[in-house]
Chains A and B, each alone.
Chain A
Amino acid sequence: MDLMNIIINGIKIIFIFLLMVQIVPLLVWIERRASAFIQNRFGPNRVGPLGLTQLLADLIKFLFKEEFIPKNAKKSLFYLAPILALIPGALAFGAIPLSVPFTIPIFSFFSKEFGPYLIEFQSYNLHFSLVFILGVSALGVYSILLAGWASANKYSLFGALRAAAQVISYELALGVSLVGVLLIYSTFNLQTIINAQQGAFAFYSSGLLYTVSFLPNWGIFFQPLGFVLFFIAIFAETNRHPFDLPEAEAELVAGYHTEYGGLKMNMFYIAEYGHMLVGSALMTVLFFGGYQIPFVSTAEISQFLSSAGVSLGWLSFITSMTLFSVFMIKVFIFLWIFIWVRWTLPRFKYDQLMKLGWTKLLPLGVLNTVITAIILFILK
């Protein structure tokens, strides 16, 4: 662990965080264009090709907005809340493996040789990453509550209370729906879970191995009910439509960020899209094989790439990048579903929302746990 290695790891961590932040404007652009497409409009199409630089323009506009605090607001908390909103998403995204580890070959820098480094394509590989992600995403409630409280506005306060009650209710459903996954893979480490999803669908029954050759070995085929519960819970966790009750603009102006403007409000948006990103990435990792291409192993990919003429030194890096793009494609499919659902389903009422969470998702999650356990027991 020399200094160079530490520097490279630091750069990697910053890169992964900035990647998360950079996906947000892209997502906003996709969301606006897709909404326009669904509603038969044009959407932002003036600034730059396809309107892509619209967001840059937006950012500049946000930067030059007037700094404004309501009179009775608690100043320090009012500024702290948007910063705190960024932390849970960033910490959770850092624990998700984005691709296979790669080696950086020997290079010289200031006429000094720096040996080959093995870099993991994730900020930190914890062997309890799943509970860690649950733990840090639980911190997301604070920014909501603090923002609502510090604004000294009753709409904000009620919006924050609503949002918090909703988020914690669905966190429960989320937690229960993950138990099935834990039963199947018996680990908290996401990397191990991804590695267990290689190849074709296969399971053991009383000592014999059965294989279904046309299905990939993905978590969704082991846990269909678990996936559905997880999917719904993620929608509610991220306050997305059809569960965007905290933002119910007909009743509460705009929810907990009513009094926020300019860049501060933008930071809440970054946090929201960051949560969407983490949710989609988790779905991909737990139920859709992570960064793996179905039926193709990592060794085969690197073999193919070396036959295509990639030099040996950078082979693992290119392989890793290929798998990373596969991961991103899967994640973007889920993000597209997030946007698609927004224009497809009507919004829930608050009592329906709570009822769904407590009386449907939670018992179903427990049922899923019991069924999985019993099936595993029978199959041994």
Chain B
Amino acid sequence: MFYFFAILLLFSAIIVVSTKNSMTAILALTGTMIVQAFLFFLLKAYFLGAVQLIVYTGAVMVLFVMVIMIFNNDKEVFKIPEPPMSVWLKISAVAWFSGLVSGIFLISKNSLHLTLVTDSNFSNLLKDMSINGLSQVLFTKYLLAFEVMGVFLLAITVGVISIAKSRGGTHE
């Protein structure tokens, strides 16, 4: 199950960065988001998986699709001439990935013995990482962060309205 989702995830991610067509990239990214939601389900983070579906695929990616839809008719907008890729960038990319692959092989030979610090106070509260556990921690330990989030979102609302509020359309 894990491998199925992992391959799907990597495959769609590669499509995202390698395609020339913006719409394909956006749709592949949507696929990535959905697969990741399923990975969250697999990790028993059920509420987060559903939130991933609602917020990312339901809202963020819709915005992306809308923007592409509005602008794609100008054919040359998305055909930005790409400068010849610098050699160093290519070499470093190849080196990075080869390093990664060899690292993975090393790990697979002798697995990492990670010692994880368990927060015993809170892990007692929750049996199976369900929503109730999440909200207990969210509204006790992280309450301040939660309220700051409210202020932050308010600021974003005001900012976005003042940036984007204008008469007329998207082109003139």
Interface residues of A (CB under 8 A from B): 74, 77, 126-128, 131-132, 134-136, 138-139, 141-142, 145-146, 148-149, 157, 160-161, 164, 168, 171, 188
Contact = CB atoms under 8 A, between A and B. Distances in A.
Given A128-B46, A148-B69, A160-B69, A136 B62 contact: no
B53 A138 contact: yes
Contacts of A142: 30, 62, 65
Interface string B90-102: 0000000000000
A168 B62 contact: yes
15 contacts: A126-B46, A131-B51, A131-B54, A134-B50, A135-B54, A135-B58, A136-B53, A138-B57, A138-B58, A139-B57, A141-B58, A141-B62, A142-B65, A149-B23, A157-B69
Contacts of B5: none
Interface string B4-16: 0000000000000
Given A77-B23, A126-B46, A135 B53 contact: yes
A108 B95 CA distance: 62
Contacts of B49: 135
* Dominant SS among interface residues on chain B: helix
Interface of B: 23, 30, 34, 37, 46-47, 49-54, 57-59, 62, 65-66, 69-70, 72, 130-131
A131 B65 contact: no
B47 A128 contact: yes
A135 B50 contact: yes
A126 B72 CA distance: 40
Nearest to A187: B131
Nearest to A130: B50
Nearest to B132: A186
Contacts of B37: 135
Contacts of A171: 58
B165 to A, nearest CB: 14
Contacts of B54: 131, 134-135, 138
Nearest to B68: A149
A128 B58 contact: no
B42 to A, nearest CB: 13
A137 to B, nearest CB: 8
Nearest to A172: B59
Among B50, B69, B72, chain A packs the most CB atoms within 10 A around the CB of: B50
Given A77-B23, A161-B69, A188-B131, A131 B62 contact: no
A132 B53 CA distance: 8
Nearest to A129: B50
Nearest to A134: B54
